[in-house]
Amino acid sequence: MTLDVKGQALDLAVIGNCRTAALLDTGGRIVWWCFPRFDSDPAFSRLLSGNEEKGFCDVTMDGKAVSEAVYQRNSAIVETTIQDSAGNAVRVTDFAPRFKRFERIFNPPQIFRRIEPIAGLPRIRIRVRPTFNYGQPFTSRALGSNHIRFAGGIETLRLTTDAPLSYITQESFFALVKPVTLILGPDEPFEAGVELTSRELLERTRDYWVDWVRALAVPLEYQADVIRAAITLKLCSFEETGAIIAAHTTSIPEAPGTSRNWDYRYCWLRDAFFVIKALNRLGATQTMENYIHYITNVAVHAERPLRPVYGIVPTEPLDEWMATDLAGFQGMGPVRVGNQAAEQLQHDAYGSVILGASQMFIDERLPRMGDAALFHRLEPLAVQARRFAFEPDAGPWEYRGRQRIHTHSATMCWVACDRLAGIAQRLGLTSRATHWREQADALRSEILARAWNERRGVITGALDHDELDASVLLLHELGILSPADERFRRTVDIIGKELNRNGFIMRYTSADDFGLPETAFLVCQFWYIDALAAIGRIEEARQMFADILARRNRFGLLSEDIHPTTGQLWGNLPQTYSMAGIVNTGRILSRSWQEAWVRV
């Protein structure tokens, strides 16, 4: 695949509307679009097609010289300017409609492309090459008066346009003398005028995002960075159920040449803590509330034990299989659909759910707060947490070939009991508060005793083991240990030395099921920065935060991993963990608005 990039193969932007989302490269080519939902078969799969020119939609110029793509400010709309060597130019504007209509949100599973001449008489070529069944070419194409129907899978894709159909089907160059629009979506008639409708929907979508951003609570510093992260988090939310997916892609490997390829188009309960904290700090209460409802719905209706990951519709299976018709990102397969992690034991899930649901008992902004009935429905999760706290599991990094009593998992079981005690106290359920406080205190004592390695002088990643793990950097945020505790301060210091690779913090450095890890997991960088700030090393934290912001792709997005030697981004994109990290860490490190006024 040829991408118009400088230094980053993952220089991709995401557009979407909380129902569907697509990824574009810097040349304006749509390289990934799962239709009609985040977890659906990709109609555009070029991102994972290796060297095959299939699964994309692009606009090219005869004699193209340069292209530049940017987000419209404070929006999820991307503008790409393409100019040929003679100075002729076009602007391609990509968006997915989202705005309020008839007292509800209008967000159909459609993407729009407006192509406008802006200089000279440009000659363009429009190519639309969808795939079905994860990489298979379309089997039939039917033309109507102003649309093309592509078939070959469960869904039929319809292109409605006011551009000449013959030029599109023949992939011929033609002179663009007026704006044209491509509308990609379900096989439904589009009865309104294409030009007028596309202009109206673009304006209303732009207005929606500007208004949404206006209501955000952003820090004084890092405003543009946090706003872009906030919009991205919003685009990762599936509004219909409230789920927030880990990323919009599958199988972008964690490192070059590795088979560490995973499908992240699903909702991990572990993400709840970070995402809810980010949304709460932003004041994005509706998205936060929807997500809380999703995880509590999973919790009170799910089988026991809880699974660590669920689909955007929680009841759907996530059986993992290989899509053999896709060669993989830059030819690095396999391409996985589904995720085996759904079959694992990860005991942190109980604490994750209760931690997320606890917001309902303390946040007065929510129209419906938690009550005793919800408390009693959460109690069985804490019972399970108490039971499994010291049982081995796959851990936060989802080891496929080993199990241990991971410090993070045990701590999250403590979190389940600790937060439930606080909720009971708030509700006046004194006896239940006493019970869960006793359970939490017993767990805390044993966890800290067994996680502290006296010989190394550090808190380890698993009880009764001596290997380091970056997940213990969360102990102060979770509240089991004060940042002033010497054990925590020493752990931060040692992790900063032993897990540091060229300025990046690794999750761990010992071999796992796939060998030695090669790239750094970006969320660990945020955890380390937050820990530095908590123990008073503020200036060092600010410098590291500035560095990680500089590592984003040119659209301001982060993926899952970064190579500590090359600085290249790897892993699925955009990564919820990483984008939430920008929000949370930015809030921690920023000067207050009051300080700004004092300095004026």
According to the model, what pLDDT value does residue 32 have? Answer: 98
- 381 Cα distance to chain centroid: 26
User: Of 213, 245, 271, which residue constitutes the final position of a domain?
Assistant: 213
pLDDT in tens, 512-569: 777 888 999 999 999 999 999 999 999 999 999 999 999 999 999 999 999 999 999 9
pLDDT in tens, 353-381: 999 999 999 999 888 899 999 999 999 99
Residue 344 pLDDT class (50, 70, 90 cuts): confident
**Would 8 be classed as within a structural domain?**
no
**Would 436 be classed as within a structural domain?**
yes
Asked if residue 77 lies in contact with residue 14, where contact means CB atoms within 8 angstroms, the answer is no
pLDDT in tens, 54-108: 999 999 998 877 999 999 999 999 999 999 999 999 999 999 999 998 889 999 9
Q: Is the pLDDT of residue 337 over 50?
A: yes
| Cα–Cα distance, 520 to 560 (Å, whole number) | 9
99 and 246 share one domain: no
pLDDT in tens, 393-417: 988 888 877 889 999 999 999 999 9
191 and 227 share one domain: no
**Would 315 be classed as within a structural domain?**
yes
Residue 596 pLDDT class (50, 70, 90 cuts): low
490 conformational bin, left if phi > 0, alpha if psi -120 to 50, beta if neither: alpha
Percent of the chain past pLDDT 70, that is, above it, reads: 97
Closest CA to 576 of 296, 229, 260: 229
Query: What CATH number does residue 520 fall under?
Result: 1.50.10.10
CA distances 198 to 78, 89, 113, 183, 190, Å, are: 15, 20, 9, 8, 12
Range of the domain at 514: 215-599
The structure tokens listed for 412 are 């999250």
260 and 348 share one domain: yes
133 and 225 share one domain: no
The structure tokens listed for 392 are 């081995």
127 and 239 share one domain: no
Q: Which amino acid is at 325?
A: D
The structure tokens listed for 146 are 């102003």
3-class state of residue 326 by DSSP: coil
| Cα–Cα distance, 116 to 520 (Å, whole number) | 42
Summary mean pLDDT of the chain: 93
According to the model, what pLDDT value does residue 304 have? Answer: 66
User: Of 186, 213, 240, which residue constitutes the final position of a domain?
Assistant: 213
291 and 349 share one domain: yes
What is the reported pTM?
0.95
The structure tokens listed for 492 are 């931060």
Cβ atoms within 10 Å, residue 205: 24
What is the number of residues in the chain? 600
Closest CA to 356 of 480, 470, 244, 443: 244
**Sign of the alpha-carbon torsion through 187, 188, 191, 194:** negative
349 and 334 share one domain: yes
278 and 176 share one domain: no
According to the model, what pLDDT value does residue 4 have? Answer: 36
pLDDT in tens, 24-59: 999 999 999 999 999 999 999 999 999 999 999 999
437 and 473 share one domain: yes
User: Of 193, 213, 233, which residue constitutes the final position of a domain?
Assistant: 213
277 and 166 share one domain: no
The structure tokens listed for 68 are 């530049």
Q: Is the pLDDT of residue 600 over 60?
A: no
Cβ atoms within 10 Å, residue 338: 20
H helices present in 191-265, as ranges: 194-214, 223-235
**Would 7 be classed as within a structural domain?**
no
| Cα–Cα distance, 47 to 58 (Å, whole number) | 13
According to the model, what pLDDT value does residue 2 have? Answer: 32
Lookup result for tokens 């761990």: 508
| Cα–Cα distance, 351 to 401 (Å, whole number) | 24
**Would 4 be classed as within a structural domain?**
no
**Would 65 be classed as within a structural domain?**
yes
140 pairs with which residues across the strands?
A: 151
Q: Is the pLDDT of residue 1 over 60?
A: no
Closest CA to 407 of 347, 358, 454: 347
**Would 331 be classed as within a structural domain?**
yes
Number of domains within the chain: 2
542 and 485 share one domain: yes
Mean pLDDT over 98-127 rounds to: 95
Cβ atoms within 10 Å, residue 198: 25
The structure tokens listed for 117 are 């001449």
554 and 434 share one domain: yes
**Would 206 be classed as within a structural domain?**
yes
